[in-house]
Amino acid sequence: MTSKLTRWTHTVPATSGKIRIDDYCGPVFSILGSKSATKKAIKSNRLFLNGRPAKTADFVRKGDTIAVIGAGVRNIKRINIPLEIVFEDHHLIIINKPGGIAVNGNRHKTVENALVGVAKPSLVNDALPRPVAVHRIDVPTNGLVMLAKTKSALIKMTNAFQDRKVDKMYHAIVHGRPEREFRINESIENKEATTIGSTISTVPSLKYEHLSLVHLKPFTGRTHQLRIHMQSIGHLIVGDKLYAQGQHTILGKGLLLCAASLHFSHPNHGSDVAVTIETPRKFNRILDREASRFESQKD
């Protein structure tokens, strides 16, 4: 067993921009392995930046020396969850996450753990020991999640998401009949938040009056932004028990929200990359069922 006084050190190579220390260290130190573990190390004064105890507000820069003291290397055990790989090269991997699975965090059932031994090894010099999530979507949301396979890709794509240089588009089934085109500007936790949307189709429903398929583009990345914004204009996302506020919705089918498209510049060669998945079949089945029930009752 490794001594609790064991010390691991790392010198930060050239980066493409600022990145917080709690985002940077998980992939670099196998003893940490995640952002939550890094925060715990900071809180317990086991992580040092240039010889002083690190703070969560610290950013890392080229030439910085990071050290961590810990009790042993964190072993990552793969969890057997089939994941559809939509895009993969030596720098990135993008998967279609099922609903009900966390992207990462202090738990076993995560996308990161499910990819251990599944992703093709990167042959790039700064390859990470395992793919690390660049961003997250809610546990009940399904759809596209990007993970980095190299340190440089992690830094560049983390900055791209933070700087709103990644175009994201979601599919959702909502209650009611929204405007054909709409824009929502409503702050979340005192931070600006903007979503634009378009209504693709609407069907009548005996129980819910109308259900609609919408496309949503968040221009900011606030927690639960789409769910909060759609509820705020009276069009709850179907299956969203958290924000239903007593409104009846379809249960047992999960949250009908899907991260359907990512458009970005590749972190290595800069070319445009567009990754898209189709509207989940479940969404269309529910719309067809509601429309059929309405027509049957009318007859």
CATH number of 224's domain: 3.30.2350.10
Residues 171 and 145 in one domain: no
DSSP 60: E
pLDDT value at residue 165:
95
Burial 261-279 (b: 16+ CB within 10 A, else e): bbebeebeeeeebebebeb
**Residue 269: inside a domain, yes or no?**
no
CA distance 35 to 182: 36
Helix, strand and coil in the chain, % to nearest 5: 20, 35, 45
Express each pLDDT in 223-245 by its tens digit: 999 999 999 999 999 999 999 99
Q: Tell me which residue has tokens 């998945």.
A: 277
Counting the structural domains of the chain, the total is 3
Of 23, 39, 70, the domain-final residue: 70
The yes-or-no answer on residue 138 being catalytic is: yes
- The reply to whether 104 and 211 lie within a common domain is no
What DSSP state is assigned to residue 180? S
Q: pLDDT-derived band of residue 3, with 50, 70 and 90 as boundaries? A: very low
The whole-number pLDDT of residue 13 equals 80
Q: Are 144 and 171 within one domain?
A: no
Q: Are residues 89 and 137 in the same domain?
A: yes
Mean pLDDT of 159-186: 96
Q: State the pLDDT confidence band at 16, using cuts at 50, 70 and 90.
A: low
State whether 101 and 174 are in the same domain: no
- How many angstroms separate the CA atoms of 266 and 273, rounded? 6
206 and 294 co-located in one domain: yes
CA dihedral (246, 239, 145, 219) in degrees, to 10, reads -50
Residues 239 and 183 in one domain: yes
Higher pLDDT, 77 or 67: 67
Same domain, 201 and 292: yes
On whether the CB atoms of residues 39 and 56 are closer than 8 A, the answer is yes
Task: From the candidates 138, 240, 272, 299, give the one annotated as an active-site residue.
Answer: 138
200 domain residue, yes or no: yes
Each residue's pLDDT tens digit, 142-151: 999 999 998 8
Residues 159, 95 within the same domain: yes
Tell me the CATH number at 33.
3.10.290.10
- Please report whether residue 75 resides in a domain: no
What's the mean per-residue pLDDT of the chain? 89
| Beta-bridge partner residues of 92 | 148
Higher pLDDT, 80 or 179: 179
State which of 135, 163, 191 marks the end of a domain.
163
Residues forming a β-bridge with 259: 143, 170
pLDDT at 31: 65
| Residue 260: Cβ within 10 Å count | 22
The three-state DSSP-derived secondary structure of 214-255 is EEEEECCCCCCHHHHHHHHCCCCECCCCCCCCCCCCCCCCCC
CA triplet 134, 138, 139: central angle to 5 degrees? 110
Q: Which domain, by its residues, includes 37?
A: 6-70
Hey, what are 226's tokens? 């789409």
Q: Which of 2-11, 75-84, 128-137, 210-219 is modeled with the greatest confidence?
A: 210-219
pLDDT at 78: 65
Is there a domain that residue 277 lies in? no
* 126 and 206, same domain (yes or no): no
